[in-house]
Each structure stands twice: as structure tokens, then as C-alpha cells.
Chain A
Amino acid sequence: NAGVTQTPKFQVLKTGQSMTLQCAQDMNHEYMSWYRQDPGMGLRLIHYSVGAGITDQGEVPNGYNVSRSTTEDFPLRLLSAAPSQTSVYFCASRRQGQYEQYFGPGTRLTVT
């Protein structure tokens, strides 16, 4: 199993550009989440999904969209990038009924 994969690893955007961060897992996990990590603030939940076709907002959803058309994939879309979205983004997944959450390697995003 590849576990949780994320692409790209690094990305630089200009203000106003849009892009999609990709996340995929091959463990057939029902739950998937997106977090952002900023220095000194721990991780904050952006959006999460409890299964295909079901998504919900986390703590900091503004400026981001998600969809979950398949169990495997959970892309995060930045609609119009802003410097405040400069961060490291982590995707995570978990099997329903279990507590262990598995994290991807992260995407480091810089918005200039």
C-alpha cells in the first residue's frame, strides 16, 4: 500500500491564481481530512469528508473547496490564492471505527 499520497510536494502561486492540491489513499478509508500547518499554531482543520459524496467544513474553510467523488480521492481547491494561504497542507485518512489517523507527506505552498 502507498498509504496517503499528496501532490505536488511544493508549489508557488501568484496572488489570485487557482490550483488543486491532490490527495489519494489506497486503504479504503471512509474518513479523509485536510489540515493546514502554520508556524507556532499546530494543525487546523480545513475540510473533512466521512465518505464519498459527503463533505463538511472544519475550523478554517474560507477560500477552499473540496469534493469527494470517490473513496480514494479528496482534492482541495484554492479558488483565488492569497498570501495568507501560504502554509504546509496535510491530508489525512482514517478507517471508520478506528482511531488511527494516517497523514500524507504534505504540500508546501507559497503564495506571492
Chain B
Amino acid sequence: ELKVEQNPLFLSMQEGKNYTIYCNYSTTSDRLYWYRQDPGKSLESLFVLLSNGAVKQEGRLMASLDTKARLSTLHITAAVHDLSATYFCAVTMDSNYQLIWGAGTKLIIKP
């Protein structure tokens, strides 16, 4: 059974600081996704990581994937208040690419 664990589940940080969110999964998977969700809103796709060693960056966010360790990280550089949101990772469970989700990391960035 494929399980996905994120940590931390809650993170409060100051603007300008760096931090990393971790996503571990239990069995081999082909794809790893990162999504952002603002309160009361839908989910916005951030990154899709397809292979071992994949690294993608968008603005202050950088995601990486280590398939051997079954670990993905989402690194936030010089955080700004606008990045406050809940971040989810999700992993495919079969060839239909149906997603198994982590519980989410609620990120609060204080001005």
C-alpha cells in the first residue's frame, strides 16, 4: 500500500528565512507532484517530478526528487508573506496516475 508522509505538518516562519518541507513515500512510484492550496480555494499545481535527481524551480520554490530514498523536498528561499498556504505532495499509485496525497504542510510566513 502506497503511503505518503509530509513533515512538518505546520510551519511558522519569518520573512526572509529559508526552510524545507519533506515528503516521504513508502513504495516505488513514477511521479511526484507538489500542489499549493490557499484557504477555501482549489489546488494549484506547482511541480511534477518525473525521475531520480529531478530538480525544478519556480521563483522562491525549488523541488527535488530522490527516488532511491523515496524522498522529495520543497525548499523555500527567502520566504515572503505571499507564500503562506498549505502545500501538498502527491504520488501516483498506478499506471492510471491516480494520486495518493500527503496530509499537507500549512505554512505561515510572518511579515
A75 in the interface (beta carbon within 8 A): no
B43 in the interface (beta carbon within 8 A): yes
Which listed residue (B41, B45, B102) contacts A101, Cβ 8 A?
A: B45
Q: Return chain B residues, CB-CB under 8 Å to A83.
A: none
Secondary structure of the A side of the interface?
Answer: strand
Interface residues of B in 68-111 (CB under 8 A from A): 88, 90, 96-104
Instruction: Report the Cα distance A101→B43, complex, angstroms.
Output: 10
B13 in the interface (beta carbon within 8 A): no
* Among B45, B50, B96: residue with most chain A CB under 10 A: B96
Q: How many A-B residue pairs have CB under 8 A?
A: 53
B29 shortest CB reach to chain A, Å = 12
Q: Is the CB of B97 within 8 A of A94?
A: yes
Q: Is the CB of B102 within 8 A of A42?
A: yes
Instruction: Report the Cα distance A50→B94, complex, angstroms.
Output: 13
Instruction: Report the Cα distance A102→B98, complex, angstroms.
Output: 13
Instruction: Report the Cα distance A42→B2, complex, angstroms.
Output: 14
A12 in the interface (beta carbon within 8 A): no
Q: Return chain A residues, CB-CB under 8 Å to B98.
A: 33, 45, 48, 58
Q: Is the CB of B99 within 8 A of A50?
A: no
Interface string of A4-37 (1 = CB under 8 A from B): 0000000000000000000000000001010100
* Among B9, B41, B97, B102: residue with most chain A CB under 10 A: B97
Q: Return chain B residues, CB-CB under 8 Å to A100.
A: 45, 48
Instruction: Report the Cα distance A31→B96, complex, angstroms.
Output: 8
Interface string of A91-112 (1 = CB under 8 A from B): 0001000011111111000000
Asked, given contacts A48-B96, A99-B50, whether A42 binds B88 with beta carbons under 8 Å apart, the answer is yes
Q: Is the CB of B104 within 8 A of A42?
A: yes
Chain B residues at the A interface, C-beta cutoff of 8 Å: 4, 9, 31, 33, 41-43, 45, 48, 50, 88, 90, 96-104
- Beyond A42-B90, A99-B97, 14 additional contacts (C-beta under 8 Å) are A33-B98, A40-B104, A41-B103, A42-B88, A43-B90, A90-B42, A90-B43, A99-B31, A99-B50, A100-B48, A101-B33, A102-B45, A103-B42, A104-B42
